[in-house]
A and B are shown apart, each in its own frame.
Chain A
Amino acid sequence: MEETIRFELNGKQTELPLDPGQTLLWVLRNKCGLTGTKYGCGMGFCGACTVLLDGEPVRSCMLPVSDAAGKKIVTIEGLARNGNLHPLQKAFIEHDALQCGFCTPGMIITAVGLLMKNPEPSQQEIIEGMEDNLCRCGAHVRIIKAIQTAGKEMKGGK
């Protein structure tokens, strides 16, 4: 049943013997040791498991790992570069845009995807882009501000 599946994970070529039906979420967490990607509902409703697949935010809990074959995967652990945090990570800290932190990786990854498509989103566009990521602690207002701040910094920096 197992076959060799290759993908690029956080910039590194990765090759694993896997059952192609396994979900990307559990492969990342249990085979790759990347536990920053969270299980929140297992049905794609909450967004805690979001990763970037070729730059697109996807719900890793719903994705068979075979669908990731040959693609580039970025998880929350892959955002910082040489110890420098991604502007979104910095902005989340600066705005205190989290409490328990469990939804945070999915929030940040979804926001990375959003800003890649739309570097200067309006508040309404941020709300629409983040709508399906759930946070129970109620950090929403700060998350919106953090995304605005990061968007500005990324635009200025490039």
Chain B
Amino acid sequence: MKKSVTIEKKLMKSGESSGRIRRRDFFKLLGGGIFIFVHPFDPFEILSMPAQQARSLSKDFNAFLQITEAGLVNCYTGKIEMGQGAISSLPQIMADELEVPYERVKMIMGDTDLCPYDRGTSGSNTIRTFSLFMRAAAAEAKAVLLLLASEKLKLPVSRLEVKDGIISEITNSKNKVSYGELTKGKRIEKHLNGQAILKEPAKFKYVGKPFLHQDARVKVTGEAKYSADIQLPGLLHARILRPPSHGAKLVNADVSEAEKIKGIRVVRDGDFIAVLSDDRDRADQAIVKVKGEYTFDEIKADDKTIFDRILKAKSTANVIRTNGDQETGRKVSDTVIESEFHNSYVAHAAIEPHAATAMIEGDKITVWVSTQAPFRVQESIADELKFPLEKVRVLTPFVGGGFGGKSPHQQAVEAAKLAKITGKPVVVAWTRQEEFFYDTFRPAAVVKIASGFDKTGRIILWDFHTYYAGSRGSDTIYDVQHSRTTDYSRGAVHPFGTGAWRAPGNNTNTFARESQINIMASKAGIDPLDFRLKNLKDEKMIAVLKAVADLFGYSPAKTPSGRGFGIACGTDVGTSVAHMAEVKVDKKTGHVQVIRVACVQDMGLCINPQGAKIQMEGCITMGLGYALTEEIQFQGGDIKNHSFDTYDIPRFSWVPKIDTTILEHKDQPPAGGGEPGIICMGGVIANAVFDATGARLYQLPMTPERILAALKS
């Protein structure tokens, strides 16, 4: 162990953590033990944040690890659990580094009183970025414990070994001391300095092994609590008057009929009108009795004209990357193909609608929120109620699916406001219609590509323009001499809210890129896998492509081969991923049945292969929706989809046979796992449909109508 590891026995000055929960408050709540504080020293993350949001992150910690006097390891983090499995995989890393049994590590997540600031759970960052710090913290904690044991046993650290939370002399295992004994009566604080030596990957006991979801038991018994499940005495259920469309303004409201209903309380604050009751059914009955009159700002867009609006929007062009010269590329190419790809607005449609339960006691409010970003919720509520930050406690119970949609948190502010006005605890649990209305959809987008290749099938030209999709995944993965990537996304173009949707931007960009690659391969008369391999230099990508071909049992053929085989690949959050799919297309109805999907990804060090494979399966299944059916229909600000009868998400009968493989590299840092598996689903199915029928689809979703239209043309 390095000499630089020293034990700081004096307490650090409390109260320096800039308006947040102060350190002494942590201690008051948590008692003694060894604490390792983790700095989020990722400069890019801090730079990209607004000043208020960063909240002096650079000076302070954003997670910590506590070894308790009972020898338990508690990890306090503002990250949350929404089904992605961090609650199961983070303890694997910590148990390994600390040499404690897995069961002794506990995650305390998303509680703004107990956990230090975190900007939110998104971008597959929990393992990819955050876990690196936690792993280092665990190594640091072990170093501290070894030093303590060295003092206690009067032996140099080099003669000690650790197993299952017990430090013993290497040559005499009876001469030993447990973590709990070492921690007893102490309060030791250290800040992560990154100098502790990490365990060699070859010695991992838990990392890299499949672990089941830790939270499965409470989820199968109904014990697991979500934000609308908090039972409080005197709890009021609120329903809020909603406008009929985006762009509508309330000018007059008649609440008299609602007020007549027994047990209903009507709250009015400007154009915010709510009805509350201790009985949800009654609140449901009352809200429809509130009659609102509105004026409308006309929004000239609908789900058909939106693409024109996007292309005509006056965004500045942001050239992300340029290589070579476009003009030369065009001249040198033997064939140039220009294509335009569209995709519609897509909803997050988590099965749990947004919910929040708020309770005020004295001068403090506690709010249970279904959110991916508890600390941002804390700020919004403090702003709305004019409460100091430390008087707002946000708790994050289990979150019933997020996918990017639960970073926005309007429902929490509504619940907090109503709790303040009524003086009673209030739950705001959105209806499915509210969920569709206020969702921050994946943006509708257009991608235009001009690409060219020579007689040998080498891509010479690549000119990629992405409009309002977001730039993630827009850079080409292929080795092209003359290439350019341009992003257009400035200024308002969407008639309603849009936001991050699982692998934001990448689904659209990968669909367009991978379709275009197959269009070229087909034109060149080359098998689409061979065409890719011919034009790739990236060895990781080449390896996943070859592996997916093996897994799928692929044999090369020119497209369309009639077999219905598709291929697509891409990168997301540091992971390289490739898919192959087989589809059947009913040429009479236009229905596409996906028979099987194979997916291979290289995600560096994989912490929990079981969890990672489940994410891949989930991505593939969820991706069938945006590829085949999911599309928000709207007229101006009026969202036509209110529930799952008109917005079709994947069902059991859609699900293909799924095969997944992870190419592991234990010596590399972990990459993201929550999103890569979804990015190819549009492209792989579009390419499979072409291979089956010869019909090329340029628009997602590939509805039966669009398939039939493409078959005709």
Contacts and interface: CB of A to CB of B under 8 A. Distances in A.
Contacts of A134: 351, 644, 649, 651
B212 interface: yes
Interface in A104-158: 104-105, 108, 126-128, 130-144
A12 B280 CA distance: 24
A42 B433 CA distance: 9
Given A43-B643, A43-B645, A45-B644, A80 B398 contact: no
Contact of A22 (B281, B352, B651): B281
Given A21-B281, A144-B652, 6 more contacts: A41-B432, A45-B432, A100-B352, A104-B220, A141-B621, A142-B614
B655 A141 contact: yes
A19 B650 contact: no
Contacts of B219: 98, 101, 104
Interface in B209-261: 212-213, 215-226, 228-229, 231, 235, 237
Nearest to B610: A96
A102 B226 contact: yes
Nearest to A95: B212
A103 to B, nearest CB: 5
Contacts of A104: 219-220
Interface residues of A, number: 59
8 contacts: A19-B281, A33-B231, A35-B225, A99-B614, A100-B83, A100-B402, A101-B220, A136-B401
Contacts of B619: 138
A141 B399 CA distance: 22
A103 B651 CA distance: 13
B585 to A, nearest CB: 20
Given A99-B85, A136-B351, A142 B617 contact: yes
A26 B281 contact: yes
Nearest to B624: A138
Contact of B223 (A36, A43, A92): A36
A39 B228 contact: yes
A77 interface: yes
Contacts of B614: 96, 99, 139, 142
A35 B222 contact: yes
Contacts of B431: 42
A60 interface: no
Contacts, number: 180
B398 A45 contact: no
Nearest to B625: A136
A19 B279 CA distance: 10
Interface of A: 19, 21-23, 26, 29-30, 33-43, 45-46, 48, 75-77, 79-80, 85, 89, 92-94, 96, 98-105, 108, 126-128, 130-144
Contacts of B627: none
Contact of A140 (B83, B226, B621): B621
Chain B interface size band reads 35 or more
Nearest to A77: B222
B622 A101 contact: no
A104 B349 CA distance: 16
A135 B399 CA distance: 14
Contacts of B353: 39-40
A98 B222 CA distance: 13
A93 B621 contact: no
Contact of B222 (A26, A30, A40, A75): A75
Contacts of B402: 100
Given A35-B222, A136-B649, A103 B280 contact: no
Nearest to A43: B643
B279 A22 contact: yes
B221 A23 contact: no
B279 to A, nearest CB: 7
A103 B351 contact: yes
A98 B352 contact: no
A38 B261 CA distance: 26
B60 to A, nearest CB: 31
Contacts of A94: 212
Contacts of B432: 40-43, 45-46
A131 B649 CA distance: 11
B620 A138 contact: yes
B221 A80 contact: yes
Contacts of B82: 100
A92 B649 contact: no
A38 B352 contact: yes
A98 B225 CA distance: 15
A133 B649 CA distance: 11
B610 to A, nearest CB: 6
Contact of B220 (A22, A98, A131, A135): A98
Contact of A92 (B220, B281, B655): B220
B643 to A, nearest CB: 5
Contact of A102 (B235, B350, B650): B350
B429 interface: yes
Nearest to B620: A138
B84 interface: yes
Contacts of B212: 93-94, 96
B220 A99 contact: no
B305 interface: no
B658 interface: yes
Interface string B392-419: 0000001111110000000000000000
Contacts of A23: 281
Contacts of A34: 222
B231 A96 contact: no
Contact of B622 (A21, A26, A85, A137): A137
Interface string B320-354: 00000000000000000000000000000111110
Contact of B229 (A35, A103, A135, A137): A35
Interface in B50-93: 82-85
